[in-house]
Structure 1
Amino acid sequence: MSIEKNVQVVKDFFAAIGSGDKQRVLTLVAEDIEWIIPGEDWPLAGTHRGHTELEAVLQKASKEIEMTYPKPPEFVAQEDRVLVIGVATGKIKATNKPFKDDWVFDITVRDGKLTKIREYIDTQALARASEKP
């Protein structure tokens, strides 16, 4: 696929997540998707593989975190990789503590599907917001 098509697939993926369209999300990712979310001591950290684990982590995210994106992300692409650069603000629902997270997603697209997502996030900010008193 062309770089432009890869970027569009990633944009469609983010739009599907934002709208809560679970079926659309699953059509845009490979059956063996691998999503790596770094960190410890916060709800979403770990390596999530396949559609079942992807669905579980997205459901957990909606239950545990309130998040907004104050500005649209930037997309940078080369061959089968798309980097998505953005910022999120929100709070961890269990603690009601706010966070600001500057992030980069490193996404691999093959044959029109996302095959790997590696997040680079502010794990310290998220872990701090997840700490209970």
Structure 2
Amino acid sequence: MTAETELAQALAALHAEAFDAPWSAEAFADLLTQTGVVLEGGNDGFILIRAVADEAEILTLAVRPSARRQGLGGRLVGAASQRAAALGATRLFLEVAEDNAPARGLYGSLGFEAAGRRRRYYPRADGPAADALILVLSLG
């Protein structure tokens, strides 16, 4: 097994701990080969961003449930923001489920502001799909 395959599997396993609809190892393997994709993190959490021209997007931020509420998410976003700015990005975007209060609180505390909405973007097994809020952070 290659190091890339092991990394993709580890990311998928942690993602599965953090989300109800996790991404596969194959999806991570594919993303990690794409131009502008940057990974930050460690054993308890990671963030994956894509930087293109003067914009960057958080693709996913996953923190192991046992490591939550300890500042790791904020540190990961901070590290990703610095990397994005170093790559020339002036704004960092993300999508977050409107019903994800902990994530919205984190992003709000870091200075992200509302920039739009995608209606019924996140499917829910136990009810109607949740809207995605598009948030943006200026990296000036």
On whether the aligned pair clears a TM of 0.5, the verdict is no
With the length of structure 1 as denominator, give the TM-score of the two structures: 0.28
With the length of structure 2 as denominator, give the TM-score of the two structures: 0.27
Comparing both structures, which one devotes a greater share of its residues to strand? 1
